[in-house]
Amino acid sequence: MNKDLGMIKEDRYLRELIERYGFSDDYLNEHFNSFLRVLESRRICNNCKGLGHCVQLSKGQRLAFTYDDILMEEIEYCPYALKAEEKEDLKSRYLYCDIPIQLMDLDMNNIRYTQSQEKLYALLAAILLKKSRKGLYIYGDLGVGKTYLCIALANSLVKNNEKVAFVKVADFFYDIRNNIYNNPDLAQKSISALKKADYLFLDDIGSESVSEFIRDDVLLGILEYRLENDLLTVFTSNLSKEELLKHYQYDRKEKSNLMKARRLMERIDILADDFVLTGENMRRRTQV
């Protein structure tokens, strides 16, 4: 008997395989090199802290066995790699998605919320259950959980096969300004996605720089379409609606146009009810 069979039998994965198929010591000796390769490959994964720390030759992959009268080595994806694939798949199902990949596993079933967030959670749950067809304008201080809760709802909606777009407003409009001349087809495709999504999340509205083009041609056009087609829109902002009105009153040249700003805000008022979220800065608390 090979003196090294002991370490093969001590490995949980290989021990379960041996017991399942009743491999004898003679069989193990006959295929010893194959068992050793699999053992060494899987040992690399011991105490792994995540895909970013993977030291396998191919990240997230390790050796495993299949057995159907013949023992064969195969490539197996580790749980971290499978989880990452699930996140990427979910993200790809959005019409437009600015959600960080590490938050793609967040949903309304696993989210943790504080007492100050409880009422907002209930309102978002009503949207998920289609008990409410009115959008929300969620505003409040930095870090109180506005985006966090909305991401949970957005991911849950996508899992329910709804057509969803989730955009960071400042980043989206920056890209539109850059692409409208350089890549107009892409710009129009992005705008169309926001118009036609069954559920649109405009995250951190009011953080973008204002121009007549963005305010009057892009944003107003998106909201007008959604209003006419009864599509649900959720906004998050650090600004109240009164403060957002002032934000949209002035463009980058400090030119004032109150009437156009009011016209835009009228659409937001019709699309979404106000909700102010209070509480402590969650990001600051996690850094303590």
For the chain, what are the domain ranges? 5-81, 93-286
* pLDDT for residue 154: 98
Q: Choose the CATH number for 93-286 among 2.70.210.12, 3.10.580.10, 3.40.50.300, 3.40.190.10.
A: 3.40.50.300
* pLDDT for residue 182: 87
Residues in the chain where the model's pLDDT stays below 50: 1, 286-288
Q: Packing angle between helix 79-92 and helix 146-159, nearest 10 degrees?
A: 90
* pLDDT for residue 286: 45
* Contact criterion met (CB below 8 Å) for 75 and 83: no
* pLDDT for residue 285: 53
* pLDDT single digits (tens) 2-45: 557 888 999 999 999 999 999 999 999 999 999 999 999 999 98
Give CA–CA dist 199/150, Å, rounded: 11
Give CA–CA dist 42/89, Å, rounded: 26
Tokens at 143, concatenated: 């870090």
